[in-house]
Amino acid sequence: MYQSTRNPECKASAKQAVLQGIAPDGGLFVDSTLGKEKIDLDRILKQNYLENAAMILESLLDDYLREEIEEAVKNAYSGTFASEDITPLVKVGDHSVLELFHGPTSAFKDVALTLLPQLMSKALAGTGEKVLILTATSGDTGKAALSGFQDVENTGICVFYPHGKVSAIQQKQMASQKGNNVSVTAIEGNFDDAQSEVKRLFLDEDLNKKAAEKGIRLSSANSINIGRLVPQIVYYFEAYKDLVKQGAIQPGQKVVYSVPTGNFGDVLAGYYASLLGLPVEKFLVASNANNVLYDFLSSGTYDRNREFVSTISPSMDILISSNLERLLYYMSGKDEAKIAGWMKDLAEKGSYQVDEKTLENIQELFVPFWSDDDKTRQTIDEVFRETGYVLDPHSAVAYRAAMEYGKPAVVLSTASPYKFSQDVLEALDETESDEWKALKKLSGINPQQVPVNLAELEEAEILHSRVVNRPEMAEVVEEMMEKMG
């Protein structure tokens, strides 16, 4: 059973939580008994990714049947990832890089966004209801969501992105998306315009009435959904399994994980893994120049009142790390009233301060680091010269944290360097002003091949080319509702 971080009476089953996303009181869904039952580590070491994923998900998603989970996992991960290991672990210098970017769109978000739609579809089966996902994207997540929901039963998805404000590759990735239940639209304006209109549409009475008449529920696929969080626990165990297999550690030995962090979902999944029995020494929380988490983990004061910095690791350019609320819930001793108070302070003042005991609990396990763009570029360059391995800017921030911590770590790598070819080339003292040419130029330097989905992209057929003004977004959604039935 799940409940809100802010109120124990606000409850939901796993299926309800997956469909609702956020709790009705604005809190996040958590399982208060998480960690009572441990995952059998010996079994993890013997099983493959799909078996481990099914085992872990089954222990966390109470009202899903074993068969439902097995089928969801199979649909998500069979034949969709470029590596049979799904998330291979590669030795790079003193550290091990956990490559999370071999999914269908070369995004780390693929790991979770291939599985969430399957979990939603299972939760809807037999209810007669359908779900329509509305998403505003600044580039990356939109494609991973489109690909995950493509032709999944009982679901549809509308993605909106700011016209002319995403990269050429991101734009082409979305514009070439196949599927009968997908819609991709550029809007005149910036990302915030797209985002705030999507938020407004969720509350639009007329639209919701029309949706209800068709048995359609409007929903989002954002990273606070437990259906996105839970799949991420799996690769922490997988990395551990691979370290044992490679002879780098003995079973039971504690491991350091370094995580490039934005919304705190990825590193929180690691914490969940540790509650489930994964032997963890420390989590290195690696931020870019938006170092609000560095300050929080150092001082206990979370303060979003600061300048937003645009960096070369844009998926970590975040001032409110939503999933941190879940860590606070567990670290405060599951004190819902405290969480509600801190989140109220955050909403009203933009800051809050946790008590000493909570901070101590957090600091026992989490160590913060941050790198600005210069340090990140240096790291890409240094690691390449010393090992021949090419890191993307997000992964480089985490690799840097591991270097500074000074012990061998598992570094989570969240993007293929080919998705950020121009910035990576620049870090390696090369330049190329055309994105497609940069991709090819980088492939001449990087021993790792260009992922097939990116290599084929330039020639892919454009299927979506509509550009609308903000007031027309509702019509786009209505059209998709018509199509869904």
Ligand X SMILES: *Cc1c(COP(=O)(O)O)cnc(C)c1O
Residue ranges binding ligand X (CB under 6 A): 107-109, 140, 223, 260-266, 315-316, 394, 414-415
Judged by CB, which is closer to ligand X: 156, or 260?
Answer: 260
Q: Residues 291, 297, 300, 303: what is their CA dihedral angle, to the nearest 10 degrees?
A: 10
CA distances from 126 to 17, 154, 294, 355, 389 (A): 17, 10, 46, 46, 49
Between 249 and 320, name the residue whose CB sits nearer to ligand X.
320
Q: How far is the CB of 232 from ligand X (least distance, A)?
A: 8
Closest approach of ligand X to the CB of residue 418, in Å: 12
- In the bound state with ligand X, the residue whose beta carbon lies nearer, of 162 and 260, is 260
Angle between helix 324-331 and helix 265-275 axes, rounded to 10 deg: 30
Q: Which of 45, 31, 25 is nearest to 334 (CA)?
A: 31
Question: CB of residue 183 vs ligand X: minimum separation in angstroms?
Answer: 22
Which CB sits closer to ligand X, 18 or 201? 18
The pairing of strands 410-413 and 255-260 is parallel
- Of 108 and 271, nearer to ligand X (C-beta) is 108
Report the SS3 class of residue 240: helix
Q: What is the CA radius of gyration of the chain?
A: 21
Active site residue 338: no
Query: Which H or E run includes 30?
Result: strand 29-30
Q: Residues 67, 69, 70, 72: what is their CA dihedral angle, to the nearest 10 degrees?
A: 120
Nearest residue (CB) to ligand X, 2 versus 420:
420
Indicate the residue among 201 and 450 with the shorter CB distance to ligand X: 450
CA distance 332 to 361: 8
Tell me if residue 211 falls in helix, strand or coil: helix
Token digits for 35?
């960690």
Q: Which is nearer to ligand X, 117 or 265 (CB)?
A: 265
The Cβ of residue 353 has, within 10 Å, a number of other Cβ atoms equal to: 15
In whole angstroms, how far apart are CA 218 and each of 109, 134, 211, 478? 21, 7, 7, 11
How far apart are CB 110 and ligand X at their closest, in Å?
10
Report the C-alpha gap between 163 and 160 in whole angstroms.
9
- Shortest distance, position 267 Cβ to ligand X, whole Å: 6
Q: Cα–Cα distance between 73 and 459 in angstroms, integer?
A: 31
CB of 414 to ligand X, least distance (A): 3
Distances (CA, A) of 44 to 25, 213, 269, 331, 472: 37, 46, 17, 27, 50
- Asked if residues 116 and 228 have their Cβ atoms less than 8 Å apart, the reply is yes
User: What does each C-alpha distance from 167 to 107, 182, 422, 464 come to in angstroms?
Assistant: 14, 21, 11, 16
Region of 126 please: left (phi>0), alpha (psi -120 to 50) or beta: left
CB 256 within 8 A of CB 282: yes
Nearer to ligand X, 138 or 181 (CB): 138
Distance between start and end Cα atoms, the chain: 32
Q: How far is the CB of 11 from ligand X (least distance, A)?
A: 25
- DSSP-assigned beta bridge partners for residue 216: 130
Instruction: List the catalytic residue out of 11, 91, 109, 407.
Output: 109
Nearest residue to 184 via CA among 146, 148, 155: 146
Q: How far is the CB of 214 from ligand X (least distance, A)?
A: 32
Phi-psi region of 69 (alpha: psi -120 to 50; beta: other; left: phi over 0): alpha
* Shortest Cβ 275–ligand X spacing (Å): 17
- The residues annotated with a catalytic role in the active site are 109
